């Protein structure tokens, strides 16, 4: 089976398992796990942020990052298909007591005109106050679309003019970096708080980080424990993440090439494939998924007529070519 359902289905490589086995560990709630601390410092440094906090999941990293800049009763503005709005099961409202309003863009992009309409300054006891703007790069449900740096910088200026924060969901920021050559520090500079994921395209079994100022991270450390996210000898997991960062970032270019190959095979426009996610239309998605499975390829249905295929570390060139043939013939 060639599994193209998601870039989360990867398994740790032998070298990654060796790095995990060799990791020096300590109690992370006491701040004594050297491998976790080194990972946090390293990743904060990559993005030019003061500090970082290791988390079990990207959802937890987003929940704590947004809560660092939006108080209960305030709102964050985001794109309608953002992961924070759709895929975190209402945690930002249920756990953090904040609300959201959204703008819609077919490619998940920044829309300053829409933001200008939505933005609510402090109007006293009449309206919910906007405290932060959130963007996702790459945008998962918009087919792995990259948000251009110039647009993010314009969003940063918009936020600065109004005195509000920017949150960046950077679960796949590595893909954006490799696809465009934009330095990670340039992405980091547009965000007050952000999240990055080590277990999507990078292939670690678990792990995300929240990044921000030392003060944001100190607050998040308290909230992480409150949520039951205080972890102990997790250097064993941080070591997998560090290995992924050191060995699996540049190779994302292969995943992007494989996704374009699949796009050509199914007659989609390869120019619409920015990174490792391909969405394409079929007559009947559930039936297409079943026929692809019979032929040896797992893909996902993300609507009645839309198929999603995602390339990753465990899809070789040979696999991609074979999958292209099979999906093309369907
Ligand atoms: C996967 C993902 C996350 C985090 O997901 P977890 O499954 O909680 O680790 C956050 N944002 C985006 C855009 C994602 O694709």
Q: Is the CB of 79 under 6 A from ligand 1?
A: no
pLDDT at 106: 94
- Across the range 213-223, mean pLDDT stands at 98
- pLDDT confidence tier of residue 193, bands split at 50, 70 and 90: very high
Host domain of residue 276? 251-329
Question: Rounded to an integer, what distance in angstroms lies between the CA atom of residue 257 and that of residue 274?
Answer: 10
**CATH code for position 313:** 3.90.1150.10
Question: What is the C-alpha end-to-end distance of the chain, expressed in Å?
Answer: 16
Let me know whether 218 and 288 are in one domain: no
262, part of any domain? yes
User: Does 303 lie in the same domain as 158?
Assistant: no
CATH of the domain at 193: 3.40.640.10
The answer to whether the CB of 288 falls within 8 A of the CB of 266 is: no
Q: Examine the domain organization and report whether 106 and 237 are in the same domain.
A: yes
- Domain termination residue (choose one: 247, 282, 314): 247
Count of domains in the chain?
2
For ligand 1, atom 6, name the residue with the nearest CA.
Answer: 58
Same domain, 268 and 241: no
Q: Counting atoms of ligand 1 from 1, which one is nearest the CA of 8?
A: 1
- How many CB atoms are closer than 10 A to CB 234? 25
Residue in this structure with the two tokens 């390293």, named with its chain if needed: 42
Domain boundary (220, 247, 274) is at: 247
Together in a domain, 234 and 269: no
27 and 161 belong to one structural domain: yes
d(CA 284, CA 60): 35
Task: Kindly state whether residue 200 falls inside one of the protein's structural domains.
Answer: yes
Report CA(319)–ligand 1 centroid distance (Å): 25
d(CA 309, CA 295): 15
Question: Last residue of some domain: 192, 212, 247?
Answer: 247
| 260-317 pLDDT, tens digit each | 999 999 999 988 999 999 999 999 999 999 999 999 999 999 989 999 999 999 999 9
Is ligand 1 within 6 A of the CB of residue 276?
no
Under 8 Å between Cβ of 195 and 209: yes
Could you tell me if the CB of 311 is within 6 A of ligand 1?
Answer: no
Q: Is 59 in the pocket of ligand 1 (CB under 6 A)?
A: yes
The residue written with tokens 């003019």 in the block is 161
pTM: 0.97
Q: How far apart are the C-alpha atoms of 277 and 159, rounded to whole Å?
A: 29
The band of 177, judged by pLDDT with boundaries at 50, 70 and 90, is very high
Cα separation of 4 and 34, whole Å? 35
Residue 5 resides in a domain: no
């Amino acid at each position: 089976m060639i599994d193209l359902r998601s870039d989360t289905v990867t398994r740790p490589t032998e070298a990654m398992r060796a790095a995990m086995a060799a990791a020096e560990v300590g109690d992370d709630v006491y701040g004594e796990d050297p491998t976790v601390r080194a990972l946090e410092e390293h990743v904060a440094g990559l993005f030019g942020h003061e500090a970082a906090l290791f988390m079990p999941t990207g959802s937890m990293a987003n929940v704590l990052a947004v809560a660092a800049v939006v108080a209960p009763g305030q709102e964050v503005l985001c794109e309608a298909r953002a992961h924070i709005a759709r895929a975190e099961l209402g945690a930002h409202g249920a756990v953090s007591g904040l609300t959201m309003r959204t703008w819609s863009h077919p490619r998940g992009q920044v829309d300053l005109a829409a933001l200008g309409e939505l933005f609510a300054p402090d109007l006293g006891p009449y309206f919910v106050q906007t405290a932060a703007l959130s963007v996702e790069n790459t945008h998962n449900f918009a087919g792995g679309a990259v948000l251009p740096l110039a647009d993010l910088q314009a969003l940063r200026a918009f936020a600065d003019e109004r005195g509000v924060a920017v949150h960046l969901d950077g679960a796949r920021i590595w893909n954006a970096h490799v696809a465009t050559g934009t330095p990670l520090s340039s992405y980091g500079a547009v965000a007050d708080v952000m999240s990055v994921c080590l277990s999507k395209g990078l292939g670690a079994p678990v792990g995300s980080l929240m990044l921000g100022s030392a003060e944001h991270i100190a607050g998040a450390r308290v909230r992480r424990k409150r949520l039951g996210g205080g972890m102990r000898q997790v250097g064993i997991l941080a070591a997998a993440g560090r290995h992924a960062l050191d060995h699996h970032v540049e190779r994302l270019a292969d995943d992007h090439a494989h996704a374009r190959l699949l796009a050509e095979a199914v007659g989609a426009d390869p120019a619409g494939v920015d990174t490792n996610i391909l969405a394409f239309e079929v007559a009947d998605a559930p039936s297409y998924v079943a026929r692809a499975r019979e032929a040896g390829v797992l893909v996902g249905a993300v609507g009645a007529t839309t198929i999603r295929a995602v390339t990753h570390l465990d899809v070789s060139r040979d696999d991609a070519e074979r999958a292209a043939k099979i999906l093309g013939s369907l």
